[in-house]
Amino acid sequence: MGLVGTMLKTKQAESISREKLEMLKQKRLKRLVDYARANSRFYGEKFKALGDDYKLSDIPPTTKPEMMESFDSVLTDSNITMKRIDEFTADIDKVGHMIDGKYLIFKTSGSTGNPAVVLYDKNNIDVQSSIAAFRTFARREDYKKFMDHGKKTAGVFADYGFYLACGMSKYLQLKMPHKKTKITVDVNAPETKIIKQLNEFKPAMLSGYPSNLALLADFKELDINPDVVITGGELLTDDIRKKLSNKFGCFVQTHYSCTEGGEVACECKEGHLHINEDWVILEPVDKDYNPVPYGDMSDKVLITNLSNYIQPFIRYELTDRVIVHNERCKCGKNTMWLEIEGRTDDILEFDNGVKIAPMSLYKVLEEVKAIRRFQLIQRATDRVELRIISDDPKEAASAAEHDLADFFASKGLNVKIVLSDELPQANIVSGKFKHIYKDFALD
Ligand SMILES: [Zn+2]
């Protein structure tokens, strides 16, 4: 279809009626499912009993472990195998490069279970670019200012590894090496360095994890005037939204994306996350995959990415809890919108008032390959407790201890890291799982 064609289709879908949008979704779903059945051994087998006349709810859901176990047979291109991907991704310089000149490779965080490996084909990349081009900005006036100020974009993210944000931005930089309008600032660099880079660059758009931006906002040395702040990766709370808006004097917004589904929902000026229904089907479901009514909180969601044909994600289970709204939004968009119960990890405060954002520690620990799942609890202003699940706990613990100690030292802290025998667990009262939180021991 090509980028221009995809752009046109994406723009066009914004002004069609709900009925037409439903028909478009059905058409794209059928095309994807039929392609998957014909070209993927995994789906050919899994969808055998489906017949030709099926509804979305007839299609059996898929889980991450299921897809990763059968990785090679899920793919619709038999030239690509996990073995070749392992070889390719062993070279960190390959981030942002395509395997066989055809597919980008991403890995999801390994901290909530085994990491997933996700391939993007050209069509999926074009769709993500089109959504970014038309739906990133909630307000037209911010977009206009951003264009007037030279589209300068700074992202404070983890700028290493095969993760979506990093890999996609490296890919775009490689494609347009002369464009100097985009920088990525390493989220775990010392604050003074981050602030210097941002002050010198003067971004028109600032993006990053909410908790990290909230901490940066405390530094009066940070002197930038972006036209918009766009957060991602964790829940943007009302408090942080207000704080960032006060500091930077601009509109603060968020979006909802995941590696498997791509850009799932974009925020409008009413602060509603509108599902990109032309390219993603999102179903709120309960524990047993039964549909959850509009307006009710789901236990999880099923995502169908309608634009990725190399590694189809069809009714793929994600553990996010959401409320989907079908009432029309005042902004005029034709799509349904959602509220999401996001990660709500704590900002930790150590000796001498040094504050550390949960996302920074999260990024350190997700890099430790041997860890499958973790939980870090602050027990005192100079002590943390680490709980891990790993196939090789000894190796995982020593690597995690080493990397955490390095990170704390870079912040001028000497924090004792205590390895716990307990496993990561949800809060007994709320049932919510936090990766990183504060719970001072009463001793
Ligand atoms: Zn809206």
Report the pLDDT value the prediction gives residue 442, as an integer from 0 to 100: 63
- Higher pLDDT: 265 or 426? It is 265
Q: How far apart are CA 334 and CA 196, in angstroms?
A: 42
pLDDT in the model for residue 166 = 85
| 278 CA distance to ligand 1 middle (Å) | 16
Q: What separation in Å is there between the alpha carbon of 203 and the centre of ligand 1? A: 26
Predicted TM-score (pTM) of the model is 0.85
For residues 326 and 145, give the distance between their C-alpha atoms in angstroms, rounded to a whole number: 32
- Of 304, 310, 254, nearest to 277 by C-alpha is 304
pLDDT tens string 135-163: 999 999 999 999 999 999 999 988 888 88
Whether pLDDT at 349 is above 80 = yes
Out of 33-37, 127-131, 164-168, 316-320, which region has the weakest mean confidence (pLDDT)? 164-168
- 138-162: burial string, b at 16+ Cβ within 10 Å, e else: bbeebbebbeeeeebbbbbbbbebb
Residue among 301, 406, 343, 236 nearest 62 (CA): 301
Closest CA to 158 of 187, 180, 130: 187
Residue type, 45: E
Q: Using alpha carbons only, give the angle 286, 289, 290 rounded to the nearest 5 degrees.
A: 70
Which amino acid, one-letter code, is at 352? N
User: Could you report the per-residue pLDDT of 306-335, keeping only the tens digit for each?
Assistant: 999 999 999 999 988 899 999 889 999 999
What CA–CA distance (Å, rounded) separates 337 from 342? Answer: 15
Cα-to-centroid distance, 115 and ligand 1 (Å): 33
Identify the residue with better confidence: 179 or 69. 69
CA dist 146 and 137 (Å) reads 10
CB under 8 Å to 71, separation ≥6 — which residues? 81, 82, 117
Instruction: Residue 237: count other Cβ atoms within 10 Å of its Cβ.
Output: 14
Distance 11 CA to ligand 1 centre (A): 16
**Cα within 13 Å of Cα(290), Cβ side:** 4
Average pLDDT of the chain is 92
How many angstroms is it from 372 CA to the middle of ligand 1? 38
What are 1-32's pLDDT values in tens digits? 799 999 999 999 999 999 999 999 999 999 99
Distance (angstroms) between ligand 1 centre and the Cα of 274 equals 6
Position 373 scores a pLDDT of 84
Q: Which has the higher per-residue pLDDT, 225 or 353? A: 225
CA distance 56 to 61: 10
Give the Å distance between the CA of 302 and the centre of ligand 1. Answer: 22
Q: What's the 210 CA to ligand 1 centre distance in angstroms?
A: 21
Residue pair 13/21 in contact by the 8 Å Cβ criterion: yes
Using the predicted structure, report yes or no on whether residue 300 has a pLDDT greater than 90. yes
Res 343: pLDDT: 61
The fraction of the chain above a pLDDT of 70, given in percent, is 96
Within 192-250, strands assigned E span: 205-208, 228-231
- Strand 228-231 versus strand 251-258 pairing type: parallel
Residue 177 has a pLDDT of 78
pLDDT for residue 305 is more than 90: yes
d(CA 151, CA 156): 16
pLDDT per residue as tens digits for the range 206-263: 999 998 999 999 999 999 999 999 999 888 988 899 999 999 999 999 999 999 999 9
For 220-236, how does the pLDDT look when each residue is reduced to its tens digit (9 = 90+)?
Answer: 999 999 999 999 988 89
For ligand 1, the distance from its centroid to the CA atom of residue 283, given in whole angstroms, is 19
Question: Which residues make beta-bridge pairs with 185?
Answer: 156
Tell me, what DSSP letter sits at residue 13?
Answer: G
Q: Is the pLDDT of residue 94 over 70?
A: yes
User: How close is the Cα of 401 to the center of ligand 1, in Å?
Assistant: 45
Distances, alpha carbon 223 to alpha carbons 202, 218, 365, in Å? 8, 11, 31
Task: Give the Å distance between the CA of 335 and the centre of ligand 1.
Answer: 8
Q: How far is the CA of 328 from the centre of ligand 1 (A)?
A: 8
Distance between Cα 329 and ligand 1 center (Å): 5
CA of 214 to the centre of ligand 1 (A): 25
> What amino acid occupies position 359?
M
pLDDT above 80 for 342: no
How many A from CA of 265 to the centre of ligand 1?
11
Q: Which of 287, 290, 288, 314 is nearest to 299 (CA)?
A: 287
Q: How far apart are CA 399 and CA 370, in angstroms?
A: 8
If you measure from the C-alpha of residue 50 to the centroid of ligand 1, how many angstroms do you get, rounded to a whole number?
36
Q: How far apart are CA 356 and CA 369, in angstroms?
A: 22
Residues 159-182: pLDDT tens digits?
Answer: 888 888 888 888 988 888 777 888
Give the distance (Å) from ligand 1 centre to CA of residue 268: 5
Please spell the DSSP secondary structure of 19-39, one letter per residue.
HHHHHHHHHHHHHHHHHHHHH
Could you tell me how many residues make up the chain?
Answer: 443
Helices first, then strands: H and E counts in the chain: 14, 20
Share of the chain above pLDDT 90, in %: 74
